Amino acid sequence: MRLFDIRYYKVNLIVWNKKIRDFLRSERCKESLIFLFFLVISYAFWTIVSLNEISEMNFKVPLRYTNIPDKAFVTSELPHVVNVRLRDRGTVLLNYTLNRFSPIEINFENYSNNKDEIFIPSAQLISEMKKRLVNSTALVSFSPDTVAIYYTMAEGKKVPVRLVSHFSAKPQCVISENIQLKPDSVMIYAPRKLLATINEVYTDSVYAENLTDTLRTVVPLSLIEGSKAIPGETTVTVPVEEVILKTLEIPLTVASLPASLKLLTFPAKVKAECMVPMILFSSLSNEDINLEVDYKKVRRKNVRKLPVEIISYPDFVLNIQVKPDSVEYILEENQFD
């Protein structure tokens, strides 16, 4: 069987070699090769002609900052490139592309002052840029218009982080605890006058709806221009838990009852049904819920039952209901010796 397979492959190889040789010797192959040859020649001539025509091209030229003092804390985002558009012959523009431009140097010592801010107009940068161009090249556009550098020599200060957000949970779920920020305060750095006005920082807006599980997300801080925070973001944790039904028997208390009277309710206890986060289910007891009836309502005519009022309950308790919501009562006089 193995010998048969080898012979089969050898026969196929011989057949394919013959087909390839026949194709290479055919008129069709010769015509295809001639066509490709002239296509390459045409493309070469077109490229040469194009490179000698005047055209425009965009370039990114790097910036390099030098001699920044060790004590200086730069609080703004420094641009690392400038965008230029040049006009010249294609060959010159191609040369710029292949060789690339050397960085434009910004020497901090030449611009530093006592104002904690530096503004370098584009005219100065354009002057440096033209030193890198041949005489025939025209500078069509240049951006940015100004390079702004904000810095400070002063120490920063610690300020709290304020969350800008909206969160909601799906039905049968609840945001069970306070939303947590980590860190909840950051060090802020800015020029002295600006730093004096900053007493807190806010996050970028963050929204999430129909949550079914605890959410953890990193949110950047929204900073005033010229200021910088370390760190520049905070981790937001939104604890979400499923809620389950819990039923408790709560003894009733009586409000506004004179010392000379005794009020007995039937029943003496009522059921309180509520939805509770699963993690807090075991921590809720009947002492956490306060229900009462008010003696003042007895004075109304034909009042046979007193309504049960919900006075207080923990914040994490949801949709609390009492059954029954009213009770019968008997008034008795207290016997004093």
Q: Is the per-residue pLDDT at 63 higher than 60?
A: yes
pLDDT, the chain, mean: 85
CATH number for 324 = 2.170.120.30
pLDDT bucket at 44, cuts 50 / 70 / 90: low
Residues 106 and 31 placed together within one structural domain of the fold: no
Residues 98 and 11 placed together within one structural domain of the fold: no
Residues 278 and 306 placed together within one structural domain of the fold: yes
Q: Give pLDDT tens digits for 230-281.
A: 999 999 999 998 999 999 999 999 998 888 888 899 999 999 999 998 888 8
* DSSP symbol at 228: E
* DSSP symbol at 315: T
Specify which residues 148 forms β-bridges with. Answer: 119
Helix (H, G, I), strand (E, B) or coil at 98: helix
Residues 233 and 189 placed together within one structural domain of the fold: yes
CATH number for 229 = 2.170.120.40
Gap between the Cα atoms of 272 and 325, Å rounded:
10
Residues 97 and 20 placed together within one structural domain of the fold: no
Residues 45 and 57 placed together within one structural domain of the fold: no
Number of domains comprising the chain: 4
Quick one: which of 205, 206, 213, 207 has its CA closest to 174? 213
Helix (H, G, I), strand (E, B) or coil at 23: helix
Q: How far is CA 17 from CA 4, 29, 236, in A?
A: 20, 16, 69
Last residue of a domain, one of 175, 210, 238: 238
Gap between the Cα atoms of 55 and 298, Å rounded:
97
Burial label, 49 (beta-carbon count in 10 A; 0-12, 13-18, 19+): exposed
Q: Give pLDDT tens digits for 198-218.
A: 999 999 999 999 999 999 999
Q: Which domain holds residue 123?
A: 53-152
Gap between the Cα atoms of 275 and 243, Å rounded:
6
Q: Give pLDDT tens digits for 107-151.
A: 888 877 767 888 888 888 899 899 989 888 899 999 888 888 888
Residues 327 and 272 placed together within one structural domain of the fold: yes
pLDDT bucket at 42, cuts 50 / 70 / 90: low
Decide: 157 and 129 in contact? Cβ < 8 Å.
no
Residues 302 and 286 placed together within one structural domain of the fold: yes
Residues 250 and 232 placed together within one structural domain of the fold: no
Q: Give pLDDT tens digits for 13-38.
A: 666 666 666 655 666 666 666 767 76
Residues 58 and 148 placed together within one structural domain of the fold: yes
Residues 260 and 229 placed together within one structural domain of the fold: no
Residues 57 and 144 placed together within one structural domain of the fold: yes
Last residue of a domain, one of 192, 216, 238: 238
